[in-house]
Structure 1
Amino acid sequence: MADDADDERDLAQAQRAHWQDTYTAHPGMYGERPSAPAVHAAEVFRAAGARDVLELGAGHGRDALYFAREGFAVQATDFSPAGLEQLRTAARDQGVDQRVTTAVHDVRDPLPLPDASGDGVFAHMLLCMALSTKEIQTAVGEVRRLLRPGGTFVYTVRHTGDAHHGAGIAHGDDIYEHGGFAVHFFDRGLVDELADGWTPAEVHAFEEGELPRRLWRVTQTVPR
């Protein structure tokens, strides 16, 4: 067990450094246009009457900035200071910096926010990074803790039907490293487990990128 914990820490540290280096070397690497899941999430949040959005794993901010332009108050977190610095600069350039706050945060750690304090949480391909199943469960528990009744969580993950599942360096727990990036590929059982105690999850399959990556977009709400 100690060896497994050491391996998880080593992988986490390596991935943190890899993402920091990547954002530094490739500023704005995902472009300025919001992701399709973020556009969907904004519609869901607005229909639910949400005023604030927490984005976990915001990177350089293309989706956080979109939420801000759509009128939401946004708190953006990431474990890469380089990505968040690019986000803050873009927020100033776009004139939405008054609606955006940032915080360096590792999703493995508790969120520094009060219980039942948020309207909506968004995470695009964050939960499918190099996180163990237990870490994923804990992170989703934290999201549930901070959302108000009726609060909505929209997240996306690469799944076991993706072409990179089973390819590259295997780290166990359905985590595979390919091209320097480690991914935890979700099966449907894990999605259903993470939705336990929420409203029934809407699970939408879609593709993104050139491979293409195969993902699920999951929308689930805290019961009122």
Structure 2
Amino acid sequence: MTHDAPRAHWQRIYQENPGMYGEEPSGPARYAAGLFTAAGARDVLELGAGHGRDALYFAAEGFSVRAADFSSEALGQLAERAEARGLAGRVTTALVDVRDPLPFATGSADAVFGHMLLCMDLSTRHIEELVGEIRRVLRPGGTFVYTVRHTGDAHYGTGIAHGDDIHEHGGFAVHFFPRELVDRLAEGWELREVHAFEEGDLPRRLWRVTMSVPDPAGG
């Protein structure tokens, strides 16, 4: 299964705007790194890693990082930055389209991170399937931290409507999350926190969601 149009869109964006998100890690990545460290995590999978500002931060914090994205241009920029910072030994890249099953072994990650990945132009069905795949990849007790724009955002209900709570502005389509979707995705998980925050100039209104795979061993 291929999804050439979205891939071409992001390839062009990263080619025209190298390092477009800057070098500093996001606030959610800083939070996640502290949480993952406290949990004793070693292996972090970042989905939608882009050019690597958060993946490289995780690596600098001592984690072994798999950085996945469906833009080879972004991953190339990430690899160059990892080499320049002496972090290449801690970072591997993977060209991945999250609409397809994740190409990672079951139980192969201690933690998964995705900053604004789930609220991209993904159908509810694809989001549900992806969260199922993330659970498969995580070890028992593993933690998933993700952020999404929600239906309280100023852009929700405006722009070009594509249905399924997806609205497009300036060529970017966003799936805005109602709280009900967050709760449904957390079924069978331990939902630890839903934290509201704002980012950017609009500002964008987001939730930072933290949830863990229950550990039958209790630790």
CA distance in 1, matches of 2:204, 2:191: 25
Tell me the distance in 2 between the aligned counterparts of 1:103 and 1:194. 25
Match of 1:88 in 2: 79
Q: What corresponds to 2:97 in structure 1? A: 106
Query: Given the two structures, how large is their TM-score scaled by the length of structure 2?
Result: 0.96
TM-align CA RMSD: 1.0
How do 1:197-216 residues align onto structure 2 when only pairs under 5 Å count? 197-216=188-207
CA distance in 2, matches of 1:121, 1:13: 25
Q: How does 1:50-69 map to 2 (within 5 A)?
A: 50-69=41-60
- Structure 1 stretch displaced more, 93-102 or 14-23: 14-23
2:44 partner SS: strand
SS at match of 1:162: coil
TM-score by length of 1: 0.94
The structure that is helix-richer by fraction is 1
Identity of aligned residues (%): 70
Q: 4+ residue stretches of structure 1 with deviation over 4 A?
A: none
Is the contact made by 1:110 and 1:142 (CA closer than 8 Å) also made in structure 2? Answer: yes
Distance 1:81 1:200 in 2: 33
2:148 corresponds to which residue? 157
* In 1, Cα distance between equivalents of 2:105 and 2:86: 28
Task: Write out aligned runs for 1:32-51 (5 A).
Answer: 32-51=23-42
**1:93-112 superposed Cα distances (whole Å, 9 cap, x missing partner):** 11000000001100011111
Say which of 55, 66, 77 aligns to 1:75: 66
- In 2: Cα distance, 1:158 partner to 1:200 partner: 18
- Superposed CA deviations along residues 110-154 of structure 1, whole A, max 9, x for unmatched, are 111121121000000000000000000000000000111110000
Quick one: which amino acid aligns to residue 28 of structure 1? Answer: G
Q: CA deviation at 1:200?
A: 2.4
1:178 corresponds to 2:166: no
1:120 aligned partner: 111
SS at match of 2:198: strand
CA displacement, residues 6-44 of structure 1 (integer Å, 9 cap, x when unaligned) = xxx8xx543322211010000000000000000000011
Greater mean alpha carbon deviation, residues 194-203 or residues 155-164: 194-203
Distance 2:46 2:93 in 1: 10
* Residues 201 and 134 of structure 1: CA distance in aligned 2, closer, same or farther (over 3 Å): farther
Which of 18, 31, 46 is matched with 2:9 structurally? 18
Q: Any stretches of 5+ residues in structure 2 without a counterpart?
A: none
Task: Map 1:142-153 onto structure 2 (within 5 A).
Answer: 142-153=133-144
Q: Which runs of 5+ in 1 are unaligned?
A: 1-8
The 3-state SS of whatever aligns with 1:201 is strand
Distance 1:37 1:77 in 2: 17
Do 1:64 and 1:74's aligned partners in 2 also have CA atoms closer than 8 Å?
Answer: yes
1:131 to 117, 122, 125: 122
Pick the aligned partner of 2:186 from 192, 195, 201. Answer: 195
How many residue pairs get aligned? The number is 214
Partner of 1:220: 211
- Structure 1 CA distance, aligned partners of 2:77 and 2:105? 27
Tell me the equivalent position of 1:3. none
